[in-house]
């Protein structure tokens, strides 16, 4: 029986060429796997037909947009995950769901190897291959760009020679990855980190310098998950899409950052994540009134480690799974409404309410009706500062000898 290789297929030039390139290099049959994670653009059926037209013997396509929103975006939201304080893990959280379907397709079609279109310089090769090793430890992995010398120039020449049904062009200098959680843009003139991004690289967001009138929105959460916008019930996918539309129109969620790749390279990235950043902002403010102080402090530490693990391709790791359990426990009371104004590139919270709030007006107020016993503060301060006071006395005593 001829060996079969499953290929993560985007429908673009490189992975379309990779179908034939892999076949010629290995003699194997190629099964193309396309997964919709809300990236928009062409229909799955169009992508399927293109894969078959480029030589795939089978084409597995999956609409995983709700799965992605529910099982990958929502844990990221509950964590308030921002890698290095900036990046909402746009590409990093899409790779595990794609891996899941790659392994499923490999089982279904009897493939022994999984291929992806990543280079040897990026993070995604790690995310794909570590995920595949975890879910399908018997499967082998290859990367045509990295392992089979498939460069972009060679891809264009191959496509033209074979008459493949794919557009071949050198005009677009950017590498772009997108899904419903956001959009990532890199390479080209952006590699000079002094160059400012130009307007043409943006798609999910409008220019924030000339915004429309302020847009006030109320987001309702239940156990950390958005369930309604302005009183209208929504699914997680619908919530993200609606905030992409409304926050994007105000230029919210543009991120320009130089980040530390797993492979040791610093890389300049432009991200657009209007829905993700608006939701994370709202969620964090709701946590501020519903999560206990020490629990919140520790959650921030857990969230940072969680983001690093996911960025580094460890979505399926035991530690990530354990951190998930802690984060899920913190969300028990994260239920309520957040009102925010979207305008000029900013999402500003101006109201919050919750039946499970820890905010006590009578304790917080400085006006008549204050129930806080201020006489307790003196003794509290004495005890709180006792350790430092004793150590300071020691320092003075020793210095005087």
Active site residue 16: no
Q: Residue 172: what pLDDT? A: 63
259 and 148 in a common domain: no
Set 4, 10, 14, 91: catalytic member: 14
- Centre a 10 Å sphere on the Cβ of residue 23 and count the other Cβ atoms it contains: 17
CATH number, position 379: 1.20.5
Note down the domain range covering 384: 364-399
Is residue 297 situated within a structural domain?
no
Q: Are residues 188 and 254 in the same domain?
A: yes
* pTM exceeding 0.85: yes
DSSP state, 338? E
Residue 173: predicted pLDDT: 67
On whether residue 274 sits in a domain, the answer given is yes
The secondary element (H helix, E strand) that includes residue 229 is: strand 225-229
Do 268 and 156 have their domain in common? Answer: no
List Cα–Cα distances, 366 to 43, 195, 208, 374, in angstroms. Answer: 59, 50, 39, 11
For residues 48 and 58, the answer to whether their CB atoms sit within 8 Å is no
User: Among 116, 139, 171, where does a domain finish?
Assistant: 171
- The answer to whether residue 327 is domain-embedded is no
pLDDT of residue 168: 65
Tens digit of each residue's pLDDT (9 = 90 or more) over 370-385: 888 889 999 999 999 9
Residue 256 annotated as catalytic: no
Same domain, 118 and 151: yes
In a domain, 328, yes or no: no
Q: How far apart are CA 100 and CA 89, in angstroms?
A: 18
Same domain, residue pair 18 and 158: yes
Regions of the chain with pLDDT less than 50: none
387's tokens: 């350790």
DSSP 92-141: TTHHHHHHHHHHHHHHHHT-SEEE----SSSSHHHHHHHHHHHH-TT-EE
- pLDDT of 140 reads 97
CA–CA gap between residue 225 and residue 76 (Å, rounded):
11
Same domain for 150 and 56: yes
pLDDT tens, residue by residue, 114-167 = 999 998 888 999 999 999 999 999 999 999 888 888 887 888 888 888 888 877
In a domain, 257, yes or no: yes
Q: Which of 16, 36, 124, 352 is catalytic?
A: 124
Classify residue 316: in a domain, yes or no.
Answer: no
φ, ψ at 167 (rounded to 5°): -70, 135
Q: Do residues 206 and 166 share a domain?
A: no
Residue 181 shares a structural domain with residue 119: no
Q: What's the CA dihedral at 300, 304, 310, 316 to 10 degrees?
A: -60
Predicted pLDDT at 158: 86
Catalytic one of 63, 146, 175, 337: 175
375 labelled catalytic: no
Q: Is 214 within the bounds of a domain? A: yes
Domain boundary among 171, 192, 210: 171
Does residue 274 share a domain with residue 224?
yes
Q: With contact defined as beta carbons under 8 Å apart, do 215 and 341 qualify?
A: yes
| Residues forming beta bridges with residue 161, ordered by sequence position | none
Structure tokens at 137: 């430890």
What is the distance between the terminal CA atoms of the chain, rounded to a whole angstrom?
87
CATH code, 43: 3.40.50.620
pLDDT value at position 169?
A: 63
Phi then psi for 31, rounded to 5 degrees? -105, 120
Beta strands at 175-179 and 182-186: parallel, antiparallel or unpaired? antiparallel
Task: Provide the number of structural domains found in the chain.
Answer: 3
Strand partners, 8: 33
Q: Is residue 325 part of a domain?
A: no
Which member of 4, 50, 95, 246 is catalytic?
95
Residues 138 and 277 in one domain: no
CA 241 to chain CA centroid, nearest Å? 15
Q: Are residues 348 and 375 in the same domain?
A: no
**179 three-state secondary structure:** strand
Residue where a domain stops, chosen among 112, 146, 171: 171
Return the closest-CA partner of residue 257 out of 272, 271, 277: 271
Q: Looking at 270-385, list the stretches that DSSP marks H as alpha helix, in order from N- to C-terminal side.
A: 274-290, 293-311, 318-330, 361-364, 376-384
What is the pLDDT at residue 153? 85
pLDDT digits (tens, 9 = 90+) for 189-237: 899 999 999 999 999 999 999 999 999 999 999 999 999 999 999 999 9
- The CATH code of the domain that includes 199 is 3.90.1260.10
Cα–Cα distance, 366 to 12 (Å, whole number):
62
Residues 11 and 156 in one domain: yes
């Amino acid at each position: 029986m001829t060996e079969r290789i499953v290929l993560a297929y985007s429908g673009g030039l490189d992975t379309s060429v990779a179908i034939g390139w892999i076949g010629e290099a290995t003699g194997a049959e190629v099964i193309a796997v396309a997964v919709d994670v809300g990236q928009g653009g062409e229909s799955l059926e169009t992508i399927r037909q293109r894969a078959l037209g480029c030589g795939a013997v089978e084409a597995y396509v999956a609409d995983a947009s709700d799965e992605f929103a529910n099982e990958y975006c929502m844990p990221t939201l509950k964590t308030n995950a921002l890698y290095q304080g900036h990046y909402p893990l746009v590409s990093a959280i899409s790779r595990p769901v794609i891996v899941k379907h790659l392994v499923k397709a490999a089982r279904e079609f009897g493939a022994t190897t999984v291929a992806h279109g990543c280079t040897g310089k990026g993070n995604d090769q790690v995310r794909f291959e570590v995920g595949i090793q975890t879910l399908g430890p018997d499967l082998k992995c290859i990367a045509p760009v990295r392992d089979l010398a498939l460069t972009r120039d060679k891809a264009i020449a191959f496509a033209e020679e074979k008459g493949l049904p794919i557009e071949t062009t050198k005009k677009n200098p950017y590498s772009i990855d997108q899904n419903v959680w956001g959009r990532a843009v890199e390479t080209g003139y952006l590699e000079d980190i002094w160059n400012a991004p130009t307007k043409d690289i943006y798609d999910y967001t409008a220019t924030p310098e000339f915004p429309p009138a302020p847009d006030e929105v109320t987001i309702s959460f239940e156990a950390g998950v958005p369930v309604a916008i302005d009183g209208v019930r929504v699914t997680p996918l619908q919530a993200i899409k609606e905030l992409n539309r409304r926050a994007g129109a105000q230029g919210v969620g543009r991120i320009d950052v130089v980040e530390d790749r797993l492979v040791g390279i610093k890389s300049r990235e432009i991200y657009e994540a209007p829905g993700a950043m608006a939701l994370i902002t709202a969620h964090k403010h709701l946590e501020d009134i519903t999560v206990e102080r020490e629990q919140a402090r520790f959650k921030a530490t857990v969230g940072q480690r969680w983001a690093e693990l996911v960025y580094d391709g460890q979505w399926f790791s035991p530690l990530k799974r354990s951190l998930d359990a802690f984060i899920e426990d913190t969300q028990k009371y994260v239920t309520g409404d957040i009102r925010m104004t979207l305008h000029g590139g900013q999402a500003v919270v101006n109201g919050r309410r919750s039946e499970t709030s820890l905010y006590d007006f009578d304790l917080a107020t400085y006006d008549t009706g204050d129930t806080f016993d201020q006489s307790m503060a003196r003794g509290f301060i004495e005890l709180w500062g006792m350790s430092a006071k004793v150590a300071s006395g020691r320092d003075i005593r020793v210095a005087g000898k």
